[in-house]
Amino acid sequence: MAVSRADDEARRATNPLFNGNRVRLGLFGLNCDYACTSTTAEGRWELSWPATRAIATLADQAGIEALVPIARWRGFGGVTNFNGACYETYTWAAGLGACTEQTAVFSTSHVPTVHPIMAAKQATTIDHISGGRFALNIVCGWFQTELEMFGAPPMEHDTAYAYAAEWLEVVRKLWMAEDEFDHAGRFFKIQRGFHQPKPIQRPFPPVMNAGASPVGRRFAAQHADMAFINARQGARENYQADIANLRRLAREEFRRELQVWGHAYVVCRPTEREAREYLRYYVHEKGDWQAIENLTRGMGLDEKLPPERLASMQFDFVAGWGGYPLIGTAEQIVDELIALERVGFDGWLLSWLNFPVELQQWIDEIMPLMEQAGLRAPVRPAS
């Protein structure tokens, strides 16, 4: 569904996701124990609400645009049971919406686990709590062991996206329709659907999606405001073509514009050598490889990838949930962000091993360099 320019301007007034920064930033995974690093190294993220609130407040004051959780219902075993302890994402977003002033708060929603009427009501409530800063990250669900906990039947890949499209259609009807409505679709039957109040953001809050397959990319092009691409280190020209094709699909078939975001794990040190030594330490010496082997097996990657490719991907999963590596000095990291912006990335979700220490380092050392490079405007004071 296309959003008019007037509606975009209205959302821009409350939601920082639509500000003018060339590179927007977010934090990823704070709602899960260990966050994005499957490691026992000291300084790893230990889940608690006071710690979560402190990091969110720090990010908010620094002008970071987004807080994005991982939707997780059980862990991946190993010595850490990686991500096994986690906060539910709608209530997490509501709590953070109440204690922040500027940043957007996301819920990541596995659509088979929540009815669209409940999702619409929860999202609207968070949008009001946050003053119009809510955003929804839609996930079809891939970890079958989790979905079995809900009694959700397995769905073929393309069917799962058809389900998600109808789920979102119902949610948006509830957000927009002033009168009661009936809906009779393939997956949902709604009689006299009704929803008040409406979200602050009109016509509806923004949506993110990380579809990677052709069907998933088409879903993102048609429905999402932000497409999340799982970028990994490699030839940047490949991403440039991929991003251009995705934007072309959105414009030509659906008359829509969308942002493109990636996820990166960060290791910044005074020298590149120190950064890479620390990365090797917390991945090779302290990494919970068993948990990641369970994860990649659950994704079916063991059968799809050659051994050397699988090992490289597992390294990145231990280091930072399979993200793009931003490794080196502050200057090197900003140079890399400049290059990634040139190929088409609008934003990055960031993770670190030691969130309190390394986020503060990012704010003190890297964000000023991003401002000097023209990637970001100086932070406006909170009201």
For a pLDDT cut of 70, what percent of the chain falls above it?
A: 97
pLDDT average, residue stretch 320-336: 97
Q: Are strands 347-351 and 24-28 parallel, antiparallel or unpaired?
A: parallel
Output the pLDDT for position 33. 97
> Over the stretch 269-315, which tens digit does the pLDDT of each residue have?
999 999 999 999 999 999 999 999 999 998 888 888 899 889 999 99
Res. 2: pLDDT tops 60: no
Q: Per residue in 171-213, pLDDT tens?
A: 999 999 999 999 999 999 999 999 999 999 999 999 999 988 9
Write down the pLDDT at residue 346.
98
* Contact yes or no for 347/23 (Cβ under 8 A): yes
Determine if residue 197 is left, alpha or beta; phi over 0 gives left, psi from -120 to 50 gives alpha, anything else beta.
Answer: beta
The CATH topology of domain 5-372 is: TIM Barrel (3.20.20)
Size of the chain in residues? 383
The pLDDT, as a whole number, for residue 3 is 61
Average pLDDT in the 303-328 region?
Answer: 93
> What residues contact 91, with CB distance under 8 A and at least 6 apart?
none
Task: Give pLDDT tens digits for 143-155.
Answer: 888 888 888 778 8
Residue 5 pLDDT > 70: no
Summarised one tens digit per residue, pLDDT across range 52-82 is 999 999 999 999 999 999 999 999 999 999 9
Q: Residues with Cβ < 8 Å from 20, sequence gap 6 or more?
A: 377
pLDDT of residue 147: 85
Predicted TM-score of the model (pTM): 0.95
The confidence score (pLDDT) of residue 154 equals 80
pLDDT reading at 359 higher than 70: yes
Does the pLDDT value for residue 8 go beyond 70? no
Convert the pLDDT of each residue in 251-281 to its tens digit.
Answer: 999 999 999 999 999 999 999 999 999 999 9
**Alpha-carbon span 146 to 139, nearest angstrom:** 13
Which among 192, 196, 195, 226 has a CA at the least distance from the CA of 210?
226
Distances from the Cα of 57 to the Cαs of 229, 273, 326, 353, 382, in angstroms? 27, 32, 24, 18, 11
Q: Which amino acid appears at position 72 of this protein?
A: R
Mean pLDDT of 325-346: 97
What is the mean pLDDT of the segment spanning 363-380?
95
